[in-house]
A and B are shown apart, each in its own frame.
Chain A
Amino acid sequence: MRNEEFENEEIEQEVEVESEKERKVVIPGEVIVKGHDYLPGENTEKRGDSIVALRYGLAEEFRGLVKVIPLSGIYTPRRGNVVLGIVSNLTFNGWVIDVGAPDRAFLPLMEVPRFVNKNDIAEVMDIGDAVAVKIWSVKRRSIDLSIKSRGLGKLEDGMIFKINPNKVPRVIGREGSMVSLIKEETGCNITVGQNGYIWIKGEKVEDEILAKNAIMFITERSFVSGLTDKVKEWFDKQK
């Protein structure tokens, strides 16, 4: 199912771009800025003339819009996100996928770009199989999935581990620069799910471990500036 040819290509998805702006740690209820020139953005609200944080995270202001980038919290599914999941059930017309969110996610049978015997959909993907999927739509408490984009589908071999989903943007990097660096250094195929699950497959298990350790290094230092250089240094030390 997985097309090897495309494995090294970046999966198209919207990625929050990391920025090097001045940030401060805020806690829920804390006043971030005062004055009528500001607008409340994500995870904030206006109280009187103040913009107040509603989540624990890093406050950021850009052209008067104030928002909080969360440091923690479960994954919130968004349309267009690539996520990794595990097949948790089979139905007559598709697969129920656990993507680590409270919501039920469903992959319809018709998403598979070839003929499938309806009586034996386990032959395509069985319970316990790992899949890379794209979120097609998020309805109230249910998610529809797609695997029609390249690089998606059942994951064979390799390993999967989980990181804090809030650190995914740093692992991907600006326009995918960070994950590209790791791929280059390790020769591994890597799919970073927005839900924090990461799939790595290399020629040798040692390469996969190196890639995983690099990612752990990033998650531990995800708020440090100039992270790309530090990761390069880290790789040099491993050699």
Chain B
Amino acid sequence: METFRLTKNRIKDYLSNGKRLDGRDADEFREIVIETGISKKAEGSARVKIGKTEVLVGIKMDVGTPYPDSKDAGNLMVTAELLPLSSDRFESGPPRFEGIELGRITDRGIRESKFIDLKKLCIIEGEKVWNIFIDIYSINDDGNLMDAASIGALVALRDTKIPKYDEKEGKVIFGEWTKDKLPLSKAVPLSCTIHKVGNCLIVDPNREEEDASETRVTLALSDGNVVHSMQKGNEKEFEIEEFNNALDLAEKNYKKLYPLIKKYIE
């Protein structure tokens, strides 16, 4: 069932004093638990839990042909599936907008920041390049799948070992891995979603807070203050001042969050 309107109003009222029903501060995340290498079949993988929200992210690679407009670079493909297993709000069938958006936002943060050096993933220019597939699955949705997906994608990429490749045959030997890691940049594009609930800006909404949220903006930041991708979602507007505050909050959030995931990234 959808969160009751009176509960949403309570959340907003209480936030006007800067307080949240679960006792957190506006800029406070729930506990984040990260586990890498959760799949022996994937090139890289991760499980990320933020409170009761859980996602699994896996990296698979194979060799394909480059796109005509980037003949000397590997290909990156990100898909997200909001599994019906993870919430009664998600239905079986073709991907709906929420899942598509989740994949695309995660994709843009990684792509635009050049976190993966795709040029180094070219095998023969114009003929053979590595394809990298990042697949994101929701296991339990208790709000903020967006940031969980981003963290999951980053740490799974770092966990990735490149599979063995038979140059003569021009084929990947699936299930066998080299010791080589992906060429990743030191600038880590960590995503942060700021929600406007009532008149307050918060990070990491739980299910009820996300239901009460009227607008949001997701930013991928690296080095604490460099923005690589951004998307405002939902119907309500931001005041310019609020938006500026959201940027400040995102910056502040990066400083708190990055140390938590650092050991999985470096």
Which A residues have a C-beta under 8 Å from some C-beta of B? 86, 98, 100, 128-130, 155-162, 205, 208-209, 212
Contact = CB atoms under 8 A, between A and B. Distances in A.
A159 B1 contact: no
Contacts of A156: 6
Nearest to B10: A159
Contacts, number: 36
B173 interface: no
B6 A155 contact: yes
Given A86-B1, A98-B1, A205-B13, A157 B7 contact: no
Interface string B1-41: 11011110110011000010101000000000000000000
Contacts of A212: 21
Contact of A100 (B1, B14, B19): B1
Contact of A159 (B2, B21, B23): B21
A116 B256 CA distance: 55
Interface centre among A129, A156, A209, by most chain B C-beta atoms within 10 angstroms, is A209
Nearest to B13: A205
A160 B21 contact: no
Contact of B2 (A86, A155, A205, A209): A86
A130 B3 CA distance: 10
B13 A159 contact: no
Given A159-B21, A209-B21, A128 B14 contact: no
A208 B10 contact: yes
A66 to B, nearest CB: 34
Given A130-B5, A209-B21, 15 more contacts: A86-B1, A86-B4, A98-B1, A100-B1, A129-B5, A130-B6, A156-B6, A157-B6, A157-B9, A158-B6, A158-B10, A160-B7, A205-B19, A209-B23, A212-B21
23 contacts: A86-B1, A86-B2, A86-B4, A129-B5, A130-B6, A155-B6, A156-B6, A157-B9, A157-B10, A158-B10, A159-B4, A159-B7, A159-B10, A160-B6, A160-B7, A161-B7, A162-B1, A205-B13, A205-B14, A205-B19, A205-B21, A209-B21, A209-B23
A197 B76 CA distance: 45
A115 to B, nearest CB: 26
Contacts of B4: 86, 130, 159-160
Interface centre among B4, B7, B9, B19, by most chain A C-beta atoms within 10 angstroms, is B4
B189 to A, nearest CB: 36
What 3 A-B pairs come out closest when comparing CB atoms?
Answer: A160-B4, A159-B10, A159-B7
Contacts of A155: 6
Contacts of B14: 205
Nearest to A127: B5
Nearest to B23: A209
Nearest to A98: B1
A78 B10 CA distance: 31
A225 B256 CA distance: 42
A155 B5 CA distance: 11
Contacts of A129: 5
B248 to A, nearest CB: 27
Contacts of A100: 1
B70 to A, nearest CB: 49
A125 B19 CA distance: 30
A100 B10 CA distance: 21
A160 B13 CA distance: 15
A128 B4 CA distance: 7
Contacts of A208: 10
